[in-house]
Amino acid sequence: MKDLKSIKTIKILALLLISSLTIVSCSSDDDGDHHDHDHDHDHEEELITTVNYTLTDGTNTVTLTFQDLDGEGGTDGVTTVSGSLAANTMYSGTIELLNETEDPAEDITVEVEEEGDAHEFFITSTISDIVVTKTDTDENGNPIGIISTLETGAVGTGSLTIVLKHEPTKPNNGTATGAGGSTDVQVTFPIDVE
């Protein structure tokens, strides 16, 4: 009798154990397609592959581009500058962030703009008389930097760096280092002022 009883108990237990595991393992998944073990890799990646800084003085346009299509790791990104800037000229500039692994490319700038109070661009140059002024603002009236003006001075050669900070202190002292937060974008372009 005892044998029978213990076998019965084992059966009930095994059943309980298996059923509870099945329930839990199935219910805790909040994505749809993982049961298909052969599912495809994620197409929708949150990735910034491309930074475009387009500068125009009304007639001439200079584009600074950084592109790293395989994301973090892998091969290094590539910097291209379409031409040189003219001396003593006022340019209006727009920054565009793209995810080009998607087709059509996803415009990440929109998200940055939507969360403007948690983001800020910092644009600096080693050519000391270049003056960059951020002209757009977030909901609190602090600068974001998607739209800016860039004024060149004398002829020179150097570099220009664009930094995007996530969750910086706002308002801040105007420098990327002083703003804190974590860096989402930091790209450097060689530039000429002729």
Interface residues toward another protein, by CB under 8 A: 2, 6, 9-10, 13-14, 17, 20-21, 24-25, 28-29, 31, 33-34, 37-46, 48-49, 51, 66, 68-77, 101, 108, 111-112, 114-115, 118, 122, 124, 126, 159, 161, 163, 165-167, 175-177, 180-188
Cβ 150 to another protein shortest distance, Å: 17
Cβ 59 to another protein shortest distance, Å: 30
Nearer to another protein, 110 or 154 (CB): 110
Q: What is the CA radius of gyration of the chain?
A: 27
Measured distance CA(52)–CA(66) in Å, rounded:
7
Contact 121, 135 (CB under 8 A): no
Cross-strand bridge partners of residue 137:
143
Cβ 151 to another protein shortest distance, Å: 20
Q: Is 48 exposed, middle or buried (0-12, 13-18, 19+ CB in 10 A)?
A: buried
Dihedrals phi, psi of 126, to nearest 5 degrees: -80, -15
Nearer to another protein, 112 or 193 (CB): 112
Nearer to another protein, 64 or 187 (CB): 187
Nearer to another protein, 43 or 141 (CB): 43
Distance between the two ends of the chain, CA-based, in angstroms?
100
Cβ 76 to another protein shortest distance, Å: 4
Nearer to another protein, 15 or 90 (CB): 15
Cβ 167 to another protein shortest distance, Å: 7
184 by DSSP, 3-state: which? Answer: strand
Measured distance CA(37)–CA(118) in Å, rounded:
38
Burial code of 130-162, b = ≥16 C-beta within 10 A, e = fewer? bebebeeebeeeebbbbbbebebeeebeeebeb
Nearer to another protein, 70 or 151 (CB): 70
Cβ 85 to another protein shortest distance, Å: 18
